[in-house]
């Protein structure tokens, strides 16, 4: 992670709300935890923050197939519990709630009915490796990652685009653990966190919608790597790192300009911008089941135009 003239600004996160004890599944083993957190107690593993129009924050709990709604005041309520491993969640402008489910592909949540509806479970009758996260384009297209257990030993992770028309395009099939993803403000470039490569890849679109000249936008370090991401209107990229206890903020040129430090654990897995003026960053710390918040107005003001 590099900077040029000015060291990155340090911003301290604080607790917004933590999962209440009544919802924690202590002493319960799950197949997901056995594979992804072997030998470690896992009473929850939250991810996928996304806000609805009323300011409620939705998050997922992967190993127990649960989706929660957190009110603006921090109160938790269970929306649904189902047979699945919800990993990423995004709410569209019209209020539809889409989920990237590691077991079931892309599904949609009917929050009022408390049920999940299939959207895309396979490609050409072949199951996905394990869908991780998704991003919604302004035209209704859904971009999502198919991570599975890929890594440097198996660089076959995939990134897909599901068009509103139903057409499915595989944009890349050589990903090294593709995870969080986000479009730039012009929707001309897709950024994808490659967790086991400890890097974020930059994927420019060609006229036909394919990608070319894919490169590493920024590189990191640590036993895990970059996870969920978001981008502000100025094109600054916010990257949650799953083992360093930070969210790193990169300028459009790839320079590290700020770091937001966790006040909970080291496993910062995803982020969402909120607040009345889009000046708050909400961060999931998965292991402790904590949602943190940080004031990002300081970089919005001091680094305007960076």
For the stretch 278-298, pLDDT in tens is: 999 999 999 999 999 999 998
227 is in an annotated binding site: yes
pLDDT tens track for 212-268? 999 999 999 999 999 999 999 999 999 999 999 999 999 999 999 999 999 999 999
What is the rounded average pLDDT for all residues in the chain?
A: 95
Torsion sign (Cα): 256, 262, 267, 270: negative
What CATH class does 9-302 carry? mainly beta
Burial annotation 277-286 (CB, 10 A radius, 16+ → b, else e): eebbbbbbbb
pLDDT digits (tens, 9 = 90+) for 84-116: 999 999 999 999 999 999 999 999 999 999 999
Q: CA 147, 150, 154 angle in degrees (round to 5)?
A: 145
Using a pLDDT cut of 70, give the percent of the chain over it.
98
- Model confidence at 6: pLDDT above 90: no
56 is in an annotated binding site: no
Q: What is the mean pLDDT of residues 72-78?
A: 98
- Give the residue from 261, 175, 253 showing the smallest Cα distance to 217: 253
Domain boundaries, the chain: 9-302
At residue 5, does pLDDT exceed 90? no
In this structure, of 21-25, 55-59, 274-278, 284-288, the range with the lowest mean pLDDT score is 274-278
Q: What CA–CA distance (Å, rounded) separates 79 from 47?
A: 15
Torsions phi, psi of 300, nearest 5?
-65, -30
- Residue 304, pLDDT > 50, answer no
Question: Is 179 known as a binding-site position?
Answer: yes
- Catalytically active residues, by annotation: 227
């Amino acid at each position: 992670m590099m900077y040029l003239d000015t060291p990155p600004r340090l911003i301290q996160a604080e607790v917004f709300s933590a999962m209440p004890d009544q919802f924690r599944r202590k002493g319960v083993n799950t197949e997901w935890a056995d594979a992804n957190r072997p030998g470690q107690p896992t009473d929850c593993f939250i991810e996928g923050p996304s806000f609805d129009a009323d300011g409620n924050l939705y998050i997922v709990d992967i190993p127990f197939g649960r989706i929660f709604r957190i009110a603006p005041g921090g109160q938790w309520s269970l929306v649904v519990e189902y047979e699945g491993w919800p990993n990423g969640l995004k709410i569209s402008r019209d209020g539809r709630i889409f989920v990237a489910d590691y077991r079931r592909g892309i599904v949609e949540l009917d929050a009022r009915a408390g049920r999940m509806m299939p959207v895309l479970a396979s490609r050409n009758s072949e199951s996905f490796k394990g869908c991780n996260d998704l991003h919604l384009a302004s035209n209704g297209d859904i971009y999502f990652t198919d991570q599975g257990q890929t890594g440097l030993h198996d660089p076959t992770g995939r990134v897909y685009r599901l068009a509103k028309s139903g057409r499915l395009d595989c944009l890349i099939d050589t990903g090294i653990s593709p995870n969080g993803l986000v479009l730039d403000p012009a929707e001309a470039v897709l950024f994808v966190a490659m967790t086991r490569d400890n890097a974020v890849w930059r994927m420019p679109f060609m006229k036909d919608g394919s990608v070319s000249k894919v490169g590493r936008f920024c590189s990191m370090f640590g036993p895990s790597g970059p996870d969920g991401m978001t981008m502000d209107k100025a094109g600054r990229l916010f990257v949650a790192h799953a083992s360093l206890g930070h969210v790193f903020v990169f300028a459009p040129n790839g320079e590290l300009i700020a770091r937001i430090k966790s006040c909970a654990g080291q496993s910062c897995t995803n982020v969402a911008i909120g607040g009345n003026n889009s000046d708050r960053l909400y961060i999931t710390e998965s292991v402790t089941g904590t949602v943190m918040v940080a004031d990002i107005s300081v970089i919005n003001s001091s680094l305007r135009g960076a």
